[in-house]
Amino acid sequence: MTSDQVPTGRDRLRELLDAVLDEDNRTLGEMAGDAFASPWHFSRQVARGAGEPPVALRRRVELERAAWQLAGGASVTEVAFSAGYESVEGFSRAFHRAYGRPPGQSCTARTRDGHWLPAPNGVHFHPPTSLWVTGEQGSRGGDEVTALLVHHALEDTRALLDLATGVPEDEYRRPRAPGLQVLPWDGPDESLAAVLDHLVWATEVWLAAVEGADSPAHGADDPATLLARHDRAAPRWLAFVREVSRRGAWGDRLVDALCEPPETFVVGSVVAHVLTFSAYRRQLARHWFRAAGVEVDAGDPIDWLSRRNA
């Protein structure tokens, strides 16, 4: 590979993020130094790979972040210096050129992509400190079945949580499979309480990721609290999936710039991940409900949809 050839795929995206968008790199020379390249070669590589010069890419993403922060109530002065501008006046001129309005003008459209500027590469700021990289148009295709499966999973989870409110505390917390751990980062899945908590927690965590929120607080795991947690998160998660389905955006990638190196998640794979382990845990919960002497249905989506359409 010659010095001006651009690697493709995840590694190149990571290199782009590390070098162009690192908080400490304010100049082209600093970006190029991080990539162990001369400024001339670095600019050529980035422009060829991203369709946008590195300084322009960084400036645009910083303006997108500024627009998000302003919509959330941050002051113009605070945002201007956070974006690396030496004066509020310089920031205001750049913002007005990009958005067609002064930064002090009220804007409440704090949607996932309401602050995005036109871009040739699909790299955008995704709050709080992440990027959203849109997939290629050819990789897209609506999938109503997936949205339906997510809807069923959320309603089925709620039905199981509701059922758990009638289970005695000792049965609810009884270890039934010592050492069982479905996902290594979630901790043990040894009891009905743990499995139901992980069902809710997975939705909360991934919802925070796609909304750009801070890491959620892990609430209590008694059935009543789990129901309240689920009812707060479920409608937003379903709305997100339906919007992805509507736009056929399963190939979009969420890039978390907090990871070291940055971690890339394809939206479709995130939804598939949540569905896969939700289905397993819901059936595991049913097995343990029966072991506790509680009658429970099979959780069949066919039966669920028939009831909804009756």
pLDDT digits (tens, 9 = 90+) for 173-210: 999 999 999 998 889 999 999 999 999 999 998 888 78
Report the distance separating Cα 241 and Cα 177, nearest Å.
33
Tell me, what amino acid is at 219? G
State if pTM tops 0.75.
no
Query: Which residues belong to CATH 1.10.10.60 in the chain?
Result: 10-110
Domain 10-110 carries which CATH code? 1.10.10.60
Q: End-to-end CA distance of the chain, in Å? A: 62
> What are 104's two structure tokens?
């002090």
Task: Give the model's pLDDT for residue 129.
Answer: 54
pLDDT, position 12: 54
pLDDT-above-90 percentage for the chain: 34
User: Does the pLDDT at position 227 exceed 90?
Assistant: yes
Which pLDDT does position 178 carry in this prediction?
Answer: 92
Q: Name the class of domain 144-309.
A: mainly alpha
Q: Which residues lie across from 254 on neighbouring strands?
A: 132, 265
Q: Indicate where the chain has its CATH 1.20.120.450 domain(s).
A: 144-309
Show the CA angle centred on residue 149, arms to residues 112 and 220, nearest 5°.
70
Residue 203 near residue 234 (C-beta atoms within 8 A): yes
Q: Is pLDDT larger for residue 265 or for residue 283?
A: 283
Give 191's DSSP letter. Answer: S
Give the Å distances, CA to CA, from 71 to 79, 109, 137: 11, 7, 29
Alpha carbons 89 and 98: distance in angstroms, whole number: 14
For 253-276, the pLDDT digits (tens) are 776 544 455 567 788 888 999 999
